[in-house]
Amino acid sequence: MQSNFVRFIKTCYFKLVVIPCCLFFIFVFSCASFSKEIPISYWDEMLWVGHSYFFDFFIKGDFSNPIWQSEASYDQPKLAEFSFGAWLYPHYFLDKQKSNEADFDYMKFLISRGLYLTDEPYADAYRIYHQLHNSETVNLVKTDNGFPDEYVARYGTNVLKTIHTIYQARIINFVYMALAVVMMFYIVYIRMGIRWAVIFSFLYGYNSLLIHTGIKAHSEALFVLLFNASLLSLLLYFLSKRKVFYLFCFSVLAGLCTSTKLNGSVLVISFFIINIFYLLFYDTKKKMIGFFHSFIPVIVVLNIFILLNPYTYADPVGRIRYEYEKRMETSRYYAQIFPDASLPSAASRFTKFFSNFYISKDTGLYNAIYNMPNIPGYSLIAFVLFLVGIFYEALMTYKRKKVSFLIIFSFFISFGAMCNYLLLNWPRYYVHMVVFIVLFEGLGLYFFIQLLRKGTDALT
């Protein structure tokens, strides 16, 4: 007779609730322990946290403020900056209680922490406030990157206010990272079951690129969470015979993802293309419903993006187009400044993707376990597993396994989009693809294990 414990660990509640909760807390604490090992970057972190003042203007409904027309407003989608603002708001309230100033608002909170990143023509009063308190903080430069002791040696102890605020902002990314791992768990659970889901979750969660980019206080952790959650909801929608609930979940998550980074819009493209092929090969009896469903994510994503981006309110279509063009213009500008990071063609983007993950000297950053020592032949083994995993999923797709079709098409569409738009070879721009790298490498390992089992069974 099985014990109560054995029966419990076989229940869906244990598999789908208890294990994900355990994974969540494991990776929250793991990220917290790794945080002090990741240097603080002005370019990657202070700009994002410094622009969190947009959250204050947004929740106050101050949409007519000229600051929404500033370059900082349309340079990036706003959700990540809103996220940092929401997370730091309790700290602002605490500082406000300690302050003797009646008009101490969130912008002044940032200024007091050495994070004055307001476009001056739109905020003269804040510029004056900054000048009055300039001696209490430090004016950093965009090339600053290092650890607290290095900043103190360069600027003195006043810089610790800024450093402490960055560490506070990082904490919310620990939550996003852990939730991204949970999303990975559910994706693999759908494809391969509970044991492999747990294994893949650890391989994914401790990926070096995910740790290095996800912990920093910029948009990547939130983007990866929403990308993984969107991928999961896409799988559930098609595998659940088109339940509208999952379509709604996908549409909302894709909208939030696009409101974090513009390349989140590739999710809508993925859905549209996958839906067409799905109608042709798997769901031929529901063509009208399926075709109609293709347009729902487009409508929802556009509405969410506009709602969370007050810059677009006056002219949604024109300003969304301008925001995209401006983003590409900025990327081209940086590609000229940093020629070593430039990716001028689709061919260069294609080769650099595989070079980064499997061939170059930076492979340990892109495709290894965090802090893992160098293992001879590791990159070659990982590349073989990846190719075998692709082959295995293609074979399963040929055998009409729906989940394999959805996974492999999602990868190729996302990869194809990167080959089209990516202009800069910076590590954080690849982090959302780690979910596919780990999936296919794991599937390659699974394929070899299955072959080994069949071989041993034949011998016995």
- Write b or e for each residue in 45-68: b if 16 or more Cβ atoms lie within 10 A of its Cβ, otherwise e: bbbbbbbbbbbbbbeeeeeebebb
126 pLDDT exceeds 90? Answer: no
Alpha helix (H) ranges present in 60-123?
71-74, 79-98, 106-112
CB 51 within 8 A of CB 81: yes
- Dig out the tokens for 72 from the structure: 């900082």
Round to whole Å and give the CA distance between 172 and 83.
Answer: 8
Residue among 162, 153, 173 at smallest CA distance from 224: 173
Is a pLDDT exceeding 50 seen at residue 63? Answer: yes
- Residue-wise pLDDT for 365-420, tens only, equals 898 898 877 788 889 999 999 999 999 999 999 998 999 999 999 999 999 999 99
- Give per-residue pLDDT as tens, 141-176: 878 899 999 999 999 998 999 999 999 999 999 999
- Using DSSP, how many helices (H) and how many strands (E) does the chain show? 24, 2
Band the pLDDT of 274: cuts 50, 70, 90: very high
pLDDT score of 276: 87
The pTM assigned to this predicted structure is 0.94
Residue with the larger pLDDT of the pair 280 and 18: 18
Coil vs helix vs strand at 16: helix
